[in-house]
């Protein structure tokens, strides 16, 4: 095996060097690196036999399990692009993703398929559904059933022989599309290349100092870049990764203790919950590091965790799905500057630029702009948004000599930061109106569209307000439909049935009279947020 240029090379390379080392475990089941390599290559062969073409999308809508990992990396080995879908999403959101990026193959379970059946009728690009359950076609006609335009197969009946060699793929080809909420409308699909994911894995493994004797706990959804990173950094360093579908924070502590985990990455709401629990003493002996992503960890939470884990190294991180990771704060700097998001990760450069593209002075607020091998390829099927956030670096950018002819594309985050005299970065705020709740980025427009779909509201506005554990809580202000009385409880019931739990509003305020508008005629979200967040 040559150097790992493509994503699936990471575990296949480890299979050559340490075939009997455990790669991934879920409950009582596990795969060593040799077994994982065999499973990946078998799944790739099955996709080729199903006529998956280079770059076509394979969606994986499953909880964390061995087949999830096999399908993601097997898609890479077949030359396709995988689309991990958060298992907490409802049928409406899943259907949007399947249609938006023209998914050809869907990997899911029988119970999830039942919930999706009506949605799949409208996914006309879908050709095959692969069910991980052993015998789940009891209610179908024979061994293969038609679900909309797609043929349905069980995992055990998948072809095991590829019709030929896999297609030629290079490191700048598309490997994955990760969906994350946009500031308007439905979620946006961030296109990541093999190079993005492999270089990201190496960079993160470098600063976390991952090694073959590490055990990483995958507690975050694999549809998150930080969640998927637990797999890639483990495989890049020959470590083992434990898959956990936790219901309660205590489940995380039990897994840490049982599996003797050495590294845990989580988001602030989970850290807040974990910090409130009594930790088994033994965890201190093996948990080498903790890492925070997805928002700022409250200082009180960080201090409590450090008292619980005096020998564990804390890493505070900041990242963009559009560039996998951006910055980290080394553990030795945490006491000196706990509010900092640190400096750029290895093999990346983070700039702080003014509107005209020139560099900001120390402590001058500016936009965070990232350049380097981790910058994604844009947003799937969205040239307008891609042009807004992925732009050529201006000629005044440091490190860009004037004689260079080809432009270099960078990601302009829309986040405002400042850099101190020593080069450490501090997050100030987001330029858009995204709501950050429970580690998720939620589009207010997406919430509003679902509220409108209930046909129980006249007008509505959603926004986030500060919350001590969630980061932000979602509030909505609604007016009744014409001539109707507002049944707030009925509307909340509709929200729970149509939205994943993290998107359900914490409060619904009923507004009398028309909602205020700004001079452009748009609903004035800022005025409403200022008024109702004080109530």
CATH number of the domain within which 450 lies? 3.30.300.30
C-alpha 218/C-alpha 241 separation (Å) is: 7
Q: What is the pLDDT of residue 75?
A: 98
Q: What is the pLDDT of residue 142?
A: 39
Q: What is the pLDDT of residue 141?
A: 38
Task: Say if residue 294 is exposed, middle or buried (CB neighbours under 10 Å; 0-12, 13-18, 19+).
Answer: buried
Tokens 């507690």 locate to 219
Structure tokens at 529: 């947020």
Q: What is the pLDDT of residue 394?
A: 86
Q: Is residue 218 part of a domain?
A: no
Q: Are residues 441 and 420 both part of a single domain?
A: no
DSSP at 523: B
Q: Is residue 297 part of a domain?
A: no
pTM value surpassing 0.85: yes
Q: Are residues 69 and 41 both part of a single domain?
A: yes
Q: Are residues 134 and 103 both part of a single domain?
A: yes
Domain endpoint, select from 130, 161, 189: 189
| Three-point CA angle 169, 101, 118, nearest 5° | 135
Q: Are residues 152 and 34 both part of a single domain?
A: yes
Of the candidates 370, 372, 365, 371, the one whose C-alpha atom is nearest the C-alpha of residue 420 is 365
pLDDT in tens, 55-93: 999 999 999 999 999 999 999 999 999 999 999 999 999
What is the signed CA dihedral for 15, 17, 19, 20, rounded to 10 degrees?
Answer: -140
Q: Is residue 498 part of a domain?
A: yes
pLDDT band at 14 (very low <50, low <70, confident <90, very high): very high
Q: Is residue 273 part of a domain?
A: no
In the chain, the N- to C-terminal Cα span, in Å, equals 62
pLDDT band at 395 (very low <50, low <70, confident <90, very high): confident
Q: Which residues are 466's β-sheet partners?
A: 472
Of the candidates 67, 69, 214, the one whose C-alpha atom is nearest the C-alpha of residue 130 is 67
C-alpha 215/C-alpha 285 separation (Å) is: 13
- Please give the residue that has the higher pLDDT: either 403 or 349: 349
Q: What is the pLDDT of residue 3?
A: 65
What is the signed CA dihedral for 289, 295, 296, 300, rounded to 10 degrees?
Answer: -70
Q: What is the pLDDT of residue 130?
A: 97
Q: Which residues are 145's β-sheet partners?
A: 152
DSSP 271-286: HHHHHTSPPPGGGGGT
HSE, CB side, 13 Å, CA atoms: give it for residue 242: 24
Q: Are residues 420 and 480 both part of a single domain?
A: no
Q: Is residue 301 part of a domain?
A: no
Q: Are residues 171 and 39 both part of a single domain?
A: yes
Q: Are residues 468 and 427 both part of a single domain?
A: no
Q: Which residues are 193's β-sheet partners?
A: 174
Q: Mean pLDDT across the stretch 510-514?
A: 87
pLDDT in tens, 280-327: 999 999 999 999 998 778 888 899 999 999 999 999 999 889 998 999
Q: What is the pLDDT of residue 191?
A: 98
- Does the pLDDT value for residue 23 go beyond 60? yes
The answer to whether the CB of 513 falls within 8 A of the CB of 480 is no
DSSP at 283: G
The answer to whether the CB of 388 falls within 8 A of the CB of 441 is no
Instruction: List, in order, residues 6 or more apart from 338 with CB less than 8 Å away.
Output: 299, 302, 316
Of the candidates 491, 448, 494, the one whose C-alpha atom is nearest the C-alpha of residue 90 is 494
Q: What is the pLDDT of residue 507?
A: 94
Structure tokens at 49: 């036999």
Q: Are residues 382 and 442 both part of a single domain?
A: no
Of the candidates 78, 125, 65, the one whose C-alpha atom is nearest the C-alpha of residue 97 is 125
Structure tokens at 159: 């072809």
Q: What is the pLDDT of residue 134?
A: 59
Q: Is residue 55 part of a domain?
A: yes
DSSP at 379: B
Q: State the CB neighbour count (10 A cutoff) for residue 363.
A: 11
Q: Are residues 427 and 489 both part of a single domain?
A: no
Domain endpoint, select from 125, 159, 189: 189
Q: Are residues 469 and 423 both part of a single domain?
A: no
Q: Are residues 504 and 524 both part of a single domain?
A: yes
User: How far is CA 520 from its chain centroid?
Assistant: 34
Of the candidates 162, 163, 293, the one whose C-alpha atom is nearest the C-alpha of residue 219 is 293
The number of domains in the chain is: 3
pLDDT in tens, 111-126: 999 999 889 999 999 9
Q: Is residue 215 part of a domain?
A: no
pLDDT in tens, 135-165: 545 444 334 444 677 899 999 888 888 888 9
Tokens 């991990």 locate to 84
Q: What is the pLDDT of residue 185?
A: 66
C-alpha 487/C-alpha 446 separation (Å) is: 21
Structure tokens at 386: 């891609």
The answer to whether the CB of 251 falls within 8 A of the CB of 279 is no
Domain endpoint, select from 189, 216, 249: 189
Domain assignment of residue 378, given as a range: 347-396+406-431
Q: What is the pLDDT of residue 400?
A: 79
CA distance to 54, 86, 245, 475, per residue, from 497 (Å): 37, 17, 21, 17
Q: Percentage of residues in the chain with pLDDT exceeding 90?
A: 70
- Pairing verdict, β 105-108 and 57-60: parallel
Q: Is residue 220 part of a domain?
A: no
Q: Are residues 170 and 50 both part of a single domain?
A: yes
C-alpha 442/C-alpha 444 separation (Å) is: 6
CATH code of residue 95:
3.40.50.980
CATH code of residue 425:
2.30.38.10
107-139 in b/e form (b: 16+ CB < 10 A) is bbbbebbeebeebbeebeebbbbbbbbeebbee
C-alpha 374/C-alpha 325 separation (Å) is: 8
The mean of the pLDDT values for the chain is 91
CA 483, 487, 488, 491 dihedral sign is negative
Q: What is the pLDDT of residue 452?
A: 85
């Amino acid at each position: 095996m040559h150097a790992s240029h493509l994503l699936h090379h990471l575990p296949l390379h480890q299979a050559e060097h340490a075939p009997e080392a455990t790669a991934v475990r879920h409950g009582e089941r596990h795969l060593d690196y040799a077994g994982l390599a065999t499973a990946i290559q078998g799944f790739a062969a099955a996709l080729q036999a199903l006529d998956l073409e280079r770059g076509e999308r394979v969606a994986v809508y499953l909880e964390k399990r061995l087949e999830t990992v096999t399908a993601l990396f097997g898609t890479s080995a077949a030359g396709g692009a995988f689309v991990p879908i958060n298992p907490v999403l409802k049928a409406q959101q899943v259907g949007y993703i399947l249609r938006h990026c023209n998914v050809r193959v869907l990997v899911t379970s029988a119970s999830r398929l039942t919930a999706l059946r009506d949605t799949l009728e409208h996914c006309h690009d879908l050709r095959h559904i692969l069910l991980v359950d052993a015998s789940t076609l009891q209610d179908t006609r024979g061994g293969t059933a038609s679900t909309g335009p797609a043929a349905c197969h069980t995992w055990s009946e998948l072809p095991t022989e590829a019709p030929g060699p896999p297609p030629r793929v290079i490191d700048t080809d598309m490997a994955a599309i990760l969906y994350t909420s946009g500031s308007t409308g439905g979620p946006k699909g961030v296109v990541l290349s093999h190079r993005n994911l492999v270089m990201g894995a190496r960079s993160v493994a470098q600063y976390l100092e991952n090694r073959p004797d590490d055990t990483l706990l995958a507690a975050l959804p694999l549809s998150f870049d930080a969640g998927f990173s637990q797999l890639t950094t483990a495989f890049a360093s020959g470590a083992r990764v434990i898959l956990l579908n936790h219901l309660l924070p205590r489940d995380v502590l039990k897994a840490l203790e049982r599996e003797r985990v050495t590294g845990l990455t989580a988001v602030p709401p989970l850290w807040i919950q974990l910090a409130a629990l009594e930790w088994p003493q033994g965890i201190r002996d093996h948990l080498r590091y903790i890492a925070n992503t997805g928002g700022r960890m409250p200082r009180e939470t960080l201090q409590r965790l450090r008292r619980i884990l005096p020998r564990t190294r804390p890493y505070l991180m900041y990242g963009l799905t559009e560039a996998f990771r951006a910055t980290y704060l080394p553990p030795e700097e945490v006491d000196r500057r706990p509010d900092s998001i640190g400096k750029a990760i290895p093999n990346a450069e983070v700039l702080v630029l003014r509107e005209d593209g020139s560099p900001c002075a120390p402590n001058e607020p500016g936009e965070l702009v990232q350049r380097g091998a981790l910058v994604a390829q844009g947003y799937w099927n969205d040239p307008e948004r891609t042009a807004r956030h992925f732009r050529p670096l201006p000629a005044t950018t440091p490190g860009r000599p004037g004689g260079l002819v080809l432009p270099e594309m960078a990601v302009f985050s829309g986040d405002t930061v400042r850099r101190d005299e020593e080069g450490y970065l501090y997050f100030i705020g987001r330029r858009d109106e995204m709501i950050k709740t429970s580690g998720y980025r939620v589009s207010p427009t997406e919430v509003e569209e679902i509220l409108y779909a209930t046909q129980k509201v006249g007008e509505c506005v959603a926004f986030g307000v500060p919350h001590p554990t969630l980061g932000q809580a979602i509030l909505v202000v609604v007016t009744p439909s014409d001539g109707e009385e507002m049944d707030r409880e009925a509307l909340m019931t509709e929200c729970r049935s149509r939205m994943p739990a993290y998107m359900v509003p914490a409060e619904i305020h009923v507004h009398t009279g028309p909602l205020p508008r700004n001079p452009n005629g748009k609903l004035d979200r800022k005025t409403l947020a200022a008024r109702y967040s004080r109530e």
